[in-house]
A and B are shown apart, each in its own frame.
Chain A
Amino acid sequence: MEGELDIGPSFTSAMETVLAVMGPMAVGKSALTVRYNSGHFVDNYEPTLEDSYRKTIVLDGRSLVVYILDTAGSDQFSYLRDQYLKKGHGFIFVFSLTARASLLELDDFIQQLRFCRESDSLDGVTVLVVGNKADLTDQREVSEEEGRAKAEELGCAYMETSAKSGDNVREAFETVIRGIVDNRPASRPPSKKWCTLL
């Protein structure tokens, strides 16, 4: 796929903003990511092993390079998940509003994130819980309140999106990216200097 990158060495380099889209299988992670990146809806039913994209965006007047990792939902990749969770700056945890099991499965991700960060607080990490497939109103199994409650467990924001219609997709990504940028100690260079002086 175009824009695909080797996530190996470059993954952790300092100035990148790394955003991982995570969640159980078949909830629409790839659909969301592709929608955000290229503006169209992919309707094919193909599991993802991993895709990554580099996107240059202008947000609040600033130009940023964002790595977006579209991850595998399969449960067998928990080893990989650790890596994402340790190294990512921001996460979109996606579940499907039409599949309750997918919401429940987010618990695993949440636990794993806490474990990786070795802390119950998620300071310095930006997380957004996203309920996708909002367009399928007649198949909906999870209410907005439930989604919100899940987000509250994490102390993060909640949004409902539709990769198909595009609703809220851009907003969701930008919320996380903005969160990452705001979280980032912008004053790092000066403070470093100050430390050196000491």
Chain B
Amino acid sequence: MVDVDGACIVHAELSSGAGEVRKECMVTATAAAVAARSEPMMDAEVTVTDAGMGMSMGVDKDMGTDMGMGMGNEMEGRSNRGGDGGNGAGGDGTSVLGGDGAGGGGTVGVTNARDGHTDSARIGPAQASSAHAGSAHFGHAHANAAESRSTTAGSAADGQIEARAVVAQLSSSSNALQSGPSVEDTAPARARNGSSGSDGFVVVEDGFASPSEADLTEEAKAREAAFEEDLTRARARDPADVASIASAAFVRIVDGATMATAETPMAGEVYGSPLGVFDMARAATVGDPDAVYLHSISVLAPLFDASYRLLILPNGGETEGDDSEASTSTKISFKHMRAWYARFPYRARKNVKAVVMFKPSRLARATLTFLRSVAKANYDQLALLLPLNVVGLSPSEARAALEERVHAMAVLAGKMAGGGSERRGWSMLRSRSPPLSLDQLIASSSCVFGARLDAMTDDVWGSAAPVLVEDAIAFLDTPQHRDTEGIFRVSANAREIKLIRACYECGRPFPFEPLRDAALAAAVLKLFLRELAEPLIPGALVGDLHTAVGLGAGSAQRIEAVEAALAQFSARHFSTLAQLVPFLRRLAQTPANSMPAENLALVIGPNLVRLDSTDMTAIMAMSQTAVAITRMLIDESDTLFPTQ
């Protein structure tokens, strides 16, 4: 999906021949795998680590809709599946198995349960029983699940996670409207079994049951009228206002026609129903929730009369609590999204085929999962489901096969830059050899991490600092990310860090922007500094700088002493420091991040010196020295690095 930042949605309509039953599969880029039959898509060879979880839904017209959420823990060498679920009851049906969790992983598979087979329904017993209690079809699926060796029962976790709440809200509100005569036909989608789905993606599909107008409650009718009023109000806005809000480009429609290009001729056929894309981060730049709402409905309204899907890109980085913080009044939160969806008219909710929430920061890891799945899947089906936008590859074909894969990973992971040859992407994806593990790759390369600043080649060294440092700072040094609480302190996903590292090692700078994960960018930057072959503050000059710490803050002697020490830095060390320190200074001056200079110095300082002694006391002493020096540099930044 060329137009969607950071997200790739893969979509296919698997035609059923008869056409009486809708078949629609959505796979977000959080992960994807396809299997036509019950063959496990991810088995014991899979080495995706971390907890994976997710939820999934299957849709089958005969049965209504059901949904399972599951959670699993995929450990290296173990065969647990990520979130797994769905239905596969008798009759034609397609289930979407979803998996991905905050940790990242999980798998998504799309299985097609045709001809009464339930062989694709690998439903963990836990979610099975709750998502589907009372269904006559279910016994079979359940039994099948028990046999499936790769199924992990979704833990009946009681997560109270934002995304889950949204699911529950979305589905319950749609059910409220669908109070049709046939309860069986509208088996409600339930977000039970709450494995937390705060990350990754969430698929909610509803609208398959079609209660008649007569079944609409009075309340629903009132809502309908209110919505029409909203729409009228939206259309009566001042064109100047409209233009200004439209420039934020936070909501748009993407459909097959816009997808089809010379490079992706299949898009039109494969793409399916149009997609409304709502980008919460961009919406936040508008500030006024009401204006955002009015603009969204005026843009999206044309979709409401026929099948469509809705893709929501949450604000990256934030995982929870954005409803409760007072400072977020201007931030578009899930609370807003829920409220707005609740205001959508009956027809809009009837026709929505899927609401997908996708967290861009999970993209990288998701893609990895995706690639790993490729080796096992049915290639023809995969071809249908491939993200049409993420096929660009580096033109440098001469590189070793290993590197090539990671290039592809980088390209896929990002969708990013776009461009490149589709053909190459396809051939790579069809190749059977599995990608090299990230650890192996990282161990085999040290052009970027673990290199010497002074020895870096031109493509690694940017204009005034290493490319990675420039990228990370450019990303983090924005009002939005400077506000991140505990920036440089809070954890980031270790696997994502590795992936980004691998991308940089392969000469594929990884754009942080689409990931929107400040913690991740900060962690990568810290890692880079820590791994430098020669630390940013050379050991020989630590003593001089430490002496300067003892001199009066802001005093001429101190500045003089520091400058004398800095003068002995090599040009690149100095230049990198001159990029880093003023940036830290700006962070320290941002109260919202709770990281004043002393905190920043504590978490960053020890990365700037050599700490590899085995003597604990020595490490401690050196760390404290480094913290003190860093603190001083930040405090005196304006004088020491005045041009910034």
Using a CB–CB distance below 8 Å, which chain A residues touch chain B?
A: 6-8, 11, 24-26, 45-50, 73-77, 79-80, 83, 98-105, 107-108, 137-146, 149
Contacts and interface: CB of A to CB of B under 8 A. Distances in A.
Given A104-B494, A138-B160, A145-B155, A49 B614 contact: no
Nearest to A153: B75
Contact of A145 (B156, B324, B489, B598): B156
Contacts of B614: 79, 83
A49 B319 contact: no
11 contacts: A47-B603, A48-B602, A49-B606, A100-B102, A101-B103, A103-B51, A138-B324, A139-B320, A140-B159, A143-B159, A144-B157
Contacts of B444: none
Contacts of B530: 75-76
Contacts of B195: 143
Nearest to A102: B491
Nearest to A86: B616
Contact of A8 (B51, B494, B519, B616): B616
Contact of B103 (A49, A73, A100): A100
A75 B142 CA distance: 44
B161 interface: yes
B613 interface: yes
B219 interface: no
B594 interface: yes
Interface in B49-108: 49-51, 71, 73, 101-103
A118 B196 CA distance: 35
Given A104-B50, A142-B159, A143-B157, 20 more contacts: A11-B616, A49-B623, A75-B526, A75-B530, A76-B530, A76-B607, A77-B606, A79-B611, A79-B612, A83-B616, A100-B101, A100-B102, A101-B103, A104-B103, A104-B491, A141-B320, A142-B196, A145-B155, A146-B73, A149-B73
A97 to B, nearest CB: 10
A96 to B, nearest CB: 8
Contacts of A103: 51, 103
Contacts of A45: 486, 594-595, 599
Contacts of A104: 50-51, 103, 491, 493-494
A197 B345 CA distance: 90
Contacts of A144: 157-158
A26 B616 contact: no
B493 to A, nearest CB: 5
Most buried by B among A45, A102, A137: A45
A146 B490 contact: no
A107 B101 CA distance: 16
B199 interface: yes
B606 A25 contact: no
A50 B624 CA distance: 10
B616 A47 contact: no
B313 to A, nearest CB: 19
A141 B195 CA distance: 9
Contacts of B611: 76-77, 79
Contacts of A75: 523, 526-527, 530
**Size class of the B contact interface (CB-based, 8 Å):** 35 or more
A80 B156 CA distance: 38
B599 A47 contact: yes
A45 B490 CA distance: 11
B571 interface: no
Interface string B101-120: 11100000000000000000
Nearest to A96: B491
Nearest to A45: B594
B486 A146 contact: no
B434 interface: no
A140 to B, nearest CB: 5
B212 interface: no
B492 interface: yes
Contacts of B623: 49, 77
Contact of A141 (B155, B319, B490, B602): B319
A141 B198 contact: yes
Interface in B429-467: none
A49 B624 contact: yes
Contact of A140 (B161, B324, B599): B161
A79 B491 contact: no
Contact of B161 (A50, A74, A141): A141
A103 B194 CA distance: 18
A101 B492 contact: yes
Contacts of A98: 320-321
B396 interface: no
A164 B157 CA distance: 23
Most buried by A among B49, B161, B530: B161
Nearest to A27: B491
A50 B102 CA distance: 29
Nearest to A101: B491
Contact of A25 (B102, B491, B627): B491
Given A49-B602, A74-B603, A143 B103 contact: no
A138 B102 CA distance: 16
Contacts of B624: 49
A194 to B, nearest CB: 35
Nearest to B493: A101
Given A25-B491, A80-B619, A101 B102 contact: yes
Contacts of B101: 100
